[in-house]
Chains A and B, each alone.
Chain A
Amino acid sequence: MRRILIVGAGQSGLQLALGLQSKGYDVTLLSHRTADEVRSGRIMAPQCLFPAALRHERELGLDFWTARAPRIEGLGVSVAGPEPATGGRTRVVDWLGRLDGCAQSVDRRVKTAGWLDTFAERGGRLVIHAATVSDLDVLAGRYDLVLAAVGRGELASLFGRDADRSPHSAPRRALAVACVHGLGPRPEHPGLDAVRCTLVPGVGELFVVPTLTLSGRADLLLWAGLPGGPLDVFRETTGPSEHLARTLELLERFAPWEYARATEVELTDANATLAVGRHAPTVRHPVARLPSGGLVLGVADTVVADDPVTGQGAGSAAKCAASYLASIVERGERPFDEAWMRTAFDRHWESARHTTRWTNAMLDSWPEHVLDLMTAAATHQPVADRLARGVDDPSDLEDFFYDAERAAAYVSSVAEG
């Protein structure tokens, strides 16, 4: 039986661990926290899986929360207009695109803890330990394959930055999340759950995401602010009630139409707020060589860390785990050598590059033609639906999103029906 060591127990590490376990591999999983510690700990960076990514979980029988999680059927986009002298911003763009299938957001405290327990219950060897280079250096020789799914943890720096694929060198957004009960529906779509994104040009973005947390259905209020800007007011040390108060103040100022349904909200629990650490979006080289010569293959955001602004983190992790799982199984009994590792990563990158390109594009100020697309979506439902589906499968955006002429041609073709 092939022995595989997985370091890190987030979306990608656990999905791979459970997937490999179900296919008969001998998996050892290193997690720095126990399931109970995860469950009783601070909320983590939020996740939302769109249908294509969710399918991978379902294929492995790991979609434990589908019956309880809100069914997210659409993606709404609003663009805030300039601040009038009298206060009270309005929306200059507002539309709702429909997804093909449902998206789902589950609090990572629920999901990670549940998957950790499942892995252990199914006989997986779960080792509670914060891995260091020294550990991997010795352990690498004892496994057929070592995978690092450590996110932006310190071990990620074993993997060299790929400058050609990393156009940004500084953090571009500061994220702050609060998980709340009591958010009302959007009055124009009272029976429909959707991810709502409000773009405040030059300031940042607000995301409202229906989610499942420890205490049931809830909503995430997520501000993604340009560093140093008016949204960059959350710190690690901001207390929960102050965090929520600031979140709501900003809602009232920059997105009053969302504030209108947030007047009754309360935090779901004492750990329901987080100022997410800020990072420059970075693509790294996929293979790390340990001091002893052992090789480690980087997984998901350990090697492709996009900015969280497009909400693709968990979905990319799910896709990477699925792609690596297929590559590992297809490899059979042959060695997991460096050439195989690079091939496995390239296969994943073939899909991941679209997400990275789109996410990086959204971090810059938008070119005219993107604004035109957003505006066209408000009047042409097919454009709105296609943009929403682009969040599910960013490769589709290649055909029309990045080029002014093609964007115009696409909008004309829709307008002419």
Chain B
Amino acid sequence: MRGEDPTRGGPPAALDVPRGWQTDRSRAPHATKIVVAGGFGVGKTTFVGSVSEITPLRTEAVMTVAGEAVDDRTATPDKTTTTVAMDFGRITLDTDLVLYLFGTPGQKRFWFMWDDLVRGAIGAVVMADTRRLADCFPALDYFDSAGLPYIVAVNQFEGTARHDPEEVREALALPHQVPLVQMDARQRVAVVDTLLILVGRALDTTPG
């Protein structure tokens, strides 16, 4: 996440003018969200920025570095901390319907943040980089166990060869019903298409 330019692909800040619904404090639109998860540098913020109507915003939290199950092997006071960032954007879909996109880091030790993010979420886009497919394993495991609908979006970076989707699917041990798309996170149209596929997937898994 760090090292990505939060503004890349997003509209300029000048466009961050208030929407009509923001100025009426007597009512609020339906608020929905989609989680965008994946490894470091996979393009989460680019994805969010490509479609967000605001310059992506960032929240940061300092957490202790330890926190894996076995953290007590060291005898020293383990006070090292690290900063974890979450970038998010917003899309007004209707006068009374707003969608948020939350980009969240993929490491297992940030599961506590995912617990928070999946509450009430439509689903998750797990972003994958074919050069580092293993980076998205924790996210896949997590959304499987949380029962949250998800799809995998393989971000096509310039200069990387396109891969046979079936090979990627196999490498990720992805069930056949989980959609896998190849896309370019810099292209707004591609991002919107990806979101459409996710929401379609969520509909498939939601009883009528």
Contacts and interface: CB of A to CB of B under 8 A. Distances in A.
B73 A155 contact: no
Contacts of A163: 75
Interface in B100-132: 109, 112-113, 115-116
A132 B61 contact: yes
Given A32-B112, A154-B112, A160-B79, A135 B69 contact: no
Contacts of A153: 67
Nearest to B68: A154
A137 interface: yes
B47 to A, nearest CB: 24
Contacts of A137: 62
Contact of B73 (A133, A154, A158, A169): A169
A161 interface: yes
Nearest to B65: A157
A301 to B, nearest CB: 12
B70 A278 contact: yes
A278 B69 CA distance: 7
A170 interface: yes
Contact of A279 (B67, B70, B113): B70
Nearest to A132: B61
A251 B144 CA distance: 31
Contacts of B77: 159-161, 285
Contacts of B71: 157
A357 interface: no
Contacts of A91: none
Given A157-B66, A279-B70, A130 B113 contact: yes
Interface string A12-54: 0000000000000000000011000000000000000000000
A135 B112 CA distance: 14
A157 B75 contact: no
A277 interface: yes
B72 interface: yes
A227 to B, nearest CB: 10
B70 A132 contact: no
Contact of B67 (A33, A157, A169, A171): A157
B32 interface: no
Given A33-B115, A129-B116, A160-B79, A155 B70 contact: no
A375 B18 CA distance: 78
Secondary structure class of chain A's binding surface, majority of residues: loop
B134 interface: no
Contacts of A161: 72, 74-78
Interface string B43-85: 0000000000000000011111111011111111111010000
A112 interface: no
A133 B81 contact: yes
A137 B64 CA distance: 12
A370 interface: no
Contacts of B69: 277-279
A130 B109 CA distance: 13
A157 B115 contact: no
B111 to A, nearest CB: 9
A359 B112 CA distance: 30
A133 B72 contact: no
B116 A130 contact: yes
Nearest to A162: B77
A319 to B, nearest CB: 22
A137 B61 CA distance: 11
B116 to A, nearest CB: 6
A280 interface: yes
Interface string A103-144: 000000000000000000000000001101111010000000
Interface string B150-189: 0000000000000000000000000000000000000000
A232 to B, nearest CB: 14
Contact of A154 (B60, B67, B72, B76): B67
A282 interface: yes
Nearest to B74: A161
Most chain B C-beta atoms within 10 Å of own C-beta, residue among A33, A154, A169: A154
B72 A130 contact: no
A157 B79 contact: yes
Contacts of B66: 154, 157
Nearest to A282: B72
A171 B64 CA distance: 21
A280 B72 contact: yes
Interface in A148-180: 153-155, 157-161, 163, 169-171
A130 B75 contact: no
Contact of A132 (B63, B78, B115): B63
A278 B112 CA distance: 19
A121 B60 CA distance: 32
A132 B62 CA distance: 6
Contacts of B65: 157
Contacts of A160: 76-79
Given A32-B115, A170-B73, 10 more contacts: A130-B112, A132-B62, A134-B60, A134-B63, A135-B61, A157-B64, A157-B79, A160-B77, A169-B72, A277-B69
29 contacts: A32-B115, A130-B113, A130-B116, A132-B61, A132-B62, A133-B63, A133-B64, A134-B62, A134-B63, A137-B62, A154-B67, A154-B112, A155-B64, A157-B66, A157-B67, A157-B78, A160-B76, A160-B79, A161-B75, A161-B77, A161-B78, A163-B75, A171-B72, A278-B69, A279-B69, A280-B70, A280-B72, A282-B72, A291-B81
Interface of A: 32-33, 129-130, 132-135, 137, 153-155, 157-161, 163, 169-171, 277-280, 282, 285, 291
Sort A-B residue pairs by CB-CB distance and give the 5 closest, nearest first.
A160-B77, A154-B67, A157-B66, A130-B112, A280-B72
